[in-house]
């Protein structure tokens, strides 16, 4: 899979009644997540894709939740992912599992072991997603990416960006081996950026529908600052990386 591409994926959500019934199973699975990864074993990274997308107010951004390995496929049994976003900029509308791998559970658990889901779906800027592999079968993460689900965010505030990213959360984000019970194989965590603008064109700072000299002027005027509009990569400072993104989007 090309990690720079957009993805719109989904599958039917597990019914609430099924999630309630699976509560004890989830508790047992999460309760055994105490082991450390073994040296030399390939790790499983959690990545959100596409890396950057621009939408307008009221539109939906689709963020694919993927597991990646750098080597051969690696079996996993549980993926508990804590993630965060800016609720002032985008609203978590839910998830869709169409096109994702078949899973026993793929949802925002109400009995969230990490304690982040104040509602389903969570609305306060952080939440927990839980994936459980199907019983009696082997589920793999691969080097081309394994899609678990697709998060759906509704744009709220124009001229702003929100980073959507998995976070370590004190070890609450974890991917568990499907071969060695309790073995944590969590690798790197990679998020993405959603830009909400009035034209739907990424890096269009003046909202006129094109990326041109006027936008370059605005970016240069904000150089070295923490201006959220010109900080295209959400690094906290307007610098050469943002200039590169603007030039790559030049109309």
What are the structural domains, with CATH classification, of the chain?
Answer: 10-196 (2.60.40.680), 213-248 (no CATH)
Calculate helix-pair angle for 240-248, 213-221, nearest 10 degrees.
170
Residue ranges in the chain assigned as alpha helix (H): 16-21, 23-31, 213-221, 240-248
pLDDT of 29 > 50? The answer is: no
Q: Please classify residue 5 by burial: count the beta carbons closer than 10 Å to its beta carbon, then call 0-12 exposed, 13-18 middle and 19+ buried.
A: exposed
149-182 pLDDT, tens digit each: 999 999 998 778 899 999 999 999 999 999 999 9
The distance between the two most distant Cα atoms of the chain, rounded to a whole number of Å, is 59
Q: Tell me, what's the pLDDT at 66? A: 98
Residue 27, Cβ neighbours under 10 Å: how many?
13
- 3-state SS class at 99: coil
pLDDT in tens, 203-247: 988 877 889 999 999 999 999 999 988 999 989 999 999 999 999
pLDDT value for 38: 55
Instruction: Convert 130-177 into a string of H (helix), E (strand) and C (coil).
Output: EEECCCCCCEEEECCCEEEEEEEEEECCCCEEEEEEEECHHHCCEEEE
pLDDT digits (tens, 9 = 90+) for 191-208: 999 998 877 688 988 877
Question: How far is the CA of 199 from the CAs of 27, 211, 213, 216, 249, in angstroms?
Answer: 46, 10, 16, 16, 13
Q: What is the per-residue pLDDT for 229?
A: 84
User: Tens digit of pLDDT for each residue in 75-110?
Assistant: 999 999 999 999 999 999 999 999 999 999 999 999
In angstroms, the Cα distances linking 184 to 23, 147, 178 are 21, 19, 10
Contacts of 160 (CB under 8 A, 6+ apart): 86, 88, 89, 195, 196, 228, 229
């Amino acid at each position: 899979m090309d990690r720079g591409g957009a993805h719109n994926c989904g599958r039917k959500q597990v019914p609430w009644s099924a999630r309630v019934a699976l509560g004890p199973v989830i508790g047992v699975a999460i309760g055994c997540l105490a082991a450390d990864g073994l040296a030399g074993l390939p790790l499983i990274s959690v990545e959100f894709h596409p890396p950057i997308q621009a939408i307008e107010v009221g539109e939906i951004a689709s963020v694919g939740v993927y597991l990646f390995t750098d080597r051969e496929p690696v079996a996993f049994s549980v993926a508990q992912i804590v993630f965060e976003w800016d609720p002032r900029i985008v609203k978590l509308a839910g998830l869709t599992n169409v096109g994702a791998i078949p899973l026993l559970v793929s949802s925002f658990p109400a009995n969230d072991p990490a304690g982040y889901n104040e509602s389903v779906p969570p609305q306060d800027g952080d939440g927990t997603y839980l994936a459980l592999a199907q019983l009696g079968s082997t589920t793999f993460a691969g080097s081309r990416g394994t899609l678990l689900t697709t998060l759906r965010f509704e744009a709220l505030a124009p001229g702003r960006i929100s980073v959507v990213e998995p976070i370590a959360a004190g070890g609450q984000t974890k991917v568990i081996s499907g071969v060695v019970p309790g073995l944590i194989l969590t690798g790197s965590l990679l998020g993405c950026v959603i830009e909400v603008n009035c034209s739907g064109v990424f890096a269009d700072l003046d909202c006129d529908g094109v990326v041109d000299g006027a936008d370059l002027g605005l970016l240069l005027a904000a150089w070295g600052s923490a201006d959220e509009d010109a900080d295209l990569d959400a690094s906290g400072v307007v610098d050469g990386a943002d200039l590169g993104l603007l030039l790559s989007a030049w109309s």
